[in-house]
Amino acid sequence: MISLKSLAPLALAALAGLCQAQDANLARNLAATCANCHGTAGIAKGEMKTLAGRKEDELLKLLADYRSGAQPATIMHQIVKGYTEDQLKLVVKHFAALPAKP
* Single-letter residue type at 67: R
Report the alpha-carbon distance of residue 102 to residue 94 in Å, rounded: 15
Per-residue model confidence as pLDDT tens for the chain (102 residues): 555 555 455 444 544 444 455 677 888 889 988 988 999 899 998 888 899 999 999 999 999 999 999 999 999 999 999 999 999 999 999 999 999 887
Tell me what pLDDT residue 60 has: 96
DSSP-H helix ranges across 42-84? 56-68, 76-79
Report the alpha-carbon distance of residue 80 to residue 91 in Å, rounded: 11
Report the alpha-carbon distance of residue 102 to residue 95 in Å, rounded: 13
42 Cβ contact partners less than 8 Å away, ≥ 6 residues apart: 31, 34, 50, 51, 52, 53, 95, 98
Tell me what pLDDT residue 12 has: 44
Residue 29, φ and ψ in degrees, nearest 5? -65, -40
Tell me what pLDDT residue 47 has: 87
Report the alpha-carbon distance of residue 62 to residue 58 in Å, rounded: 6
